[in-house]
Structure 1
Amino acid sequence: MNISIDVKETESKLAVKVSGEIDAYTAPQLREKLFPLSEKEGVKMVVDLSEVNYMDSTGLGVFVGVFKNVRSHDGEFKIVGLSERLQRLFEITGLADIIDINSQIEGGVQ
């Protein structure tokens, strides 16, 4: 199980590109990378999951935690590039109603 996490920071915007699988084995790496970033006051975090081919509930838990952290620090959190399968996962769990998910990738996340 491999995961790659690339972070690009410009002013108060963070572009995070995740590739691979997010599961019980790789989620701790994702949490370790994203949580410190999510504690910055007013951060705008955009996470691109277009190259994630699998995610389980452990991954969803990481994103819920990061989302709550970002919001508690007056920031913005968005997930882009969801495959149909991942989009359905967010919809089934009700997270699509809470977290800003957008299937379109906006400029800057490479």
Structure 2
Amino acid sequence: MTVQDPDVVETSGAESAAAGGPRAGQLGLVARTAGEGVAVVAVSGEVDMLTAPQLRADVLRHLDAGETLVLDMSGVSFLGSAGLAVLVEASQQAQRRGAEFRVVAVERAVTRPLAATGLGEVFSIFESVEQALEAGRAR
């Protein structure tokens, strides 16, 4: 039996791709630039009290840089209250920084907690990264 260190968070790379993504209790984060001042962070795995601090650090780093952030949660298999708290904090940080924060949510594991808490009405929610990026171009 092995015990996994909760501070170790799997990020993108050949190892995670070969293993089929993050294992239970792990978080995958892949960031890319989608244009000047626009970052897309793809999240996969479980967002819970063990993995939320890593998500928070990554999200706030992009927002602190004043970037528009598209958080692609289409690969998330579980979104707990700690993850919801990260989304609320990210939204507030974006407002303070004059940045935009958009969430891509299609999986029931994400859409259901957002709907149940009413947060689906608070965030800019999109069905695809392309839609989220296009929303910024339309302004």
* TM-score above 0.5: yes
TM-score between both structures, scaled by the size of structure 1: 0.88
1:73 corresponds to: 97
Q: Comparing both structures, which one devotes a greater share of its residues to helix? A: 2
Tell me which of the two structures has the higher relative contact order, counting C-alpha pairs closer than 8 angstroms and 6 or more residues apart: 1
User: Which residue of 42, 50, 58 maps to 1:17?
Assistant: 42
RMSD: 1.8
TM-score between both structures, scaled by the size of structure 2: 0.71
Query: Shift in Å at residue 19 of structure 1?
Result: 0.7
2:9 corresponds to: none
Secondary structure (helix, strand or coil) at the match of 2:128 reads coil
Distance 1:19 1:46 in 2: 14
**Post-superposition CA distance 1:41-98 (Å, at most 9, x none):** 3x21101111110110000001111111111111111111431231121111111111
Moved more, 3-12 or 16-25: 3-12
Percent identical among aligned pairs is 29
The answer to whether the 8 A contact 1:80-1:103 is kept is yes
Instruction: Name the count of aligned residue pairs.
Output: 108
Q: Which amino acid aligns with 2:32?
A: K
The answer to whether the 8 A contact 1:19-1:51 is kept is yes
Q: Which amino acid aligns with 1:35?
A: L
Query: Shift in Å at residue 107 of structure 1?
Result: 6.7
Q: Comparing both structures, which one devotes a greater share of its residues to strand? A: 1
Question: Unpaired runs of 5+ in structure 1?
Answer: none
Q: Which amino acid aligns with 1:59?
A: G
Moved over 2 A (4+): none
The answer on 1:61 being equivalent to 2:85 is: yes
2:30 corresponds to: 6
The answer on 1:93 being equivalent to 2:117 is: yes
Moved more, 81-90 or 6-15: 81-90
The answer to whether the 8 A contact 1:15-1:108 is kept is no
Secondary structure (helix, strand or coil) at the match of 1:106 reads helix
Distance 2:128 2:38 in 1: 18
Q: Give the structure with higher Rg (CA).
A: 2
Secondary structure (helix, strand or coil) at the match of 2:111 reads helix
1:103 corresponds to: 127
Query: Shift in Å at residue 11 of structure 1?
Result: 1.4
Distance 1:12 1:75 in 2: 9
Question: Unpaired runs of 5+ in structure 2?
Answer: 1-24, 134-139
